[in-house]
Amino acid sequence: MNIIFETIKHIAFEIDNAIKNEDLGYSESENSSGEDQLKLDVQSDLIIEKAFASVPIVKNLVSEEKEGVLTLHNTGKYTICYDPLDGSSLVDVNLSVGSIFGIYEGELIGQNLVASVYVVYGPRIELVIAQKGKKPMLSRATGHTFHEISEITMENKGKLNAPGGTQQHWCDYHKTLIDDLFAEGYRLRYSGGMVPDLHQIMLKGGGIFSYPGTADKPQGKLRQLFEVIPFAFMYEQAGGEAINHKGMRLMELVPSHPHDTSPCFFGSRYEIAAMKKAYGIDA
């Protein structure tokens, strides 16, 4: 597994370099979700594919930017599902973005995720690794080296509220949840980049990030394999919780297609309990 983490560190510097120096325009293609691809999305995807091509333990790659599964090494053990540059539409306004990696062993279902990693490209490059039975570990880059900073532990209750999805299409009980949290003193923190938004909530102790099902997107927007399950694992390992609109742990998701999405709620215990109450889910 260490070889995978080391490869991701190498990838992080290459993608950071591309973000800082390459063309920010659109490519001529769309990804499998029908979204226009930026040249940076395509380039980041290629950087990752090239890097893992020389790591025999990696059997398959599944990318947010590609349809289907790419087999690299038939004798490999792990499938890496990744979003090469999440939030890439924020690069042109110079906000933080990220890469997310879910490492699965066997069938691509939540319970087979064995580790997850994300990278935040912000004023500094930070990387968080989560493994079973351990608190997520935060590392920060200085020069071309990552240094471990600290384990991440979430508090029981936080102060931040990151509500995703178009408000116009929220259902009444979701609106009530969000309004009640603000009425309780929660502060709005939502950049439109899942990686920095979820990172901020974890590092500041807690809060809630939600991307619900809405009238226009009943299954939400965020992809199960590349975004939802890897972050659900992070939050659970940090002492938080991650559930869907029915109260099911996101780690129990069984995607039927690599690009399936799911409504999702990530938070500390207090805010997830508040969400369950607002949604009428038995505790």
Q: Which residues bind ligand AFP (CB under 6 A)?
A: 35, 86-90, 164, 192-194, 221-222
- Residue number, 120 or 275, with CB nearest to ligand AFP: 120
- Residue number, 52 or 170, with CB nearest to ligand AFP: 170
Distance from C-alpha of 98 to C-alpha of 12, rounded to nearest angstrom: 9
User: Which residues are CB-contacts of 138 (< 8 A; sequence separation ≥ 6)?
Assistant: 126, 127, 128, 148, 149, 150, 151, 152, 203
CA distance readout (Å), 242 to 43, 47, 80, 202, 208: 31, 30, 21, 12, 10
Distance from C-alpha of 17 to C-alpha of 273, rounded to nearest angstrom: 41
Instruction: Give min distance, CB of 160 to ligand AFP, in A.
Output: 14
Residue nearest to ligand AFP (CB): 194
Instruction: Give min distance, CB of 121 to ligand AFP, in A.
Output: 13
- Residue number, 131 or 190, with CB nearest to ligand AFP: 190
Of 186, 197, 208, 225, which is closest to residue 276 (Cα–Cα)?
208
- Residue number, 59 or 258, with CB nearest to ligand AFP: 258
User: Which residues are CB-contacts of 190 (< 8 A; sequence separation ≥ 6)?
Assistant: 162, 163, 164, 197
Instruction: Give the tokens for residue 105.
Output: 């062993």
- Residue number, 11 or 58, with CB nearest to ligand AFP: 11
Instruction: Give min distance, CB of 17 to ligand AFP, in A.
Output: 19
Which residue carries 């989560």 as its tokens? 130
Query: 227 exposed, middle or buried (CB, 10 Å; 0-12, 13-18, 19+)?
Result: buried
Of 243, 263, 154, which is closest to residue 201 (Cα–Cα)?
154
Instruction: Give min distance, CB of 219 to ligand AFP, in A.
Output: 13
Instruction: Give min distance, CB of 88 to ligand AFP, in A.
Output: 5
Instruction: Give min distance, CB of 83 to ligand AFP, in A.
Output: 8
Helices 39-52 + 2-21 axis angle, to 10:
150
- Residue number, 30 or 184, with CB nearest to ligand AFP: 30
- CB 90 within 8 Å of CB 71: no
Instruction: Give min distance, CB of 84 to ligand AFP, in A.
Output: 10
- CB 234 within 8 Å of CB 195: no
Pairing of strands 58-63, 78-86: parallel
Instruction: Give min distance, CB of 90 to ligand AFP, in A.
Output: 6
- Residue number, 1 or 90, with CB nearest to ligand AFP: 90
- Residue number, 12 or 58, with CB nearest to ligand AFP: 12
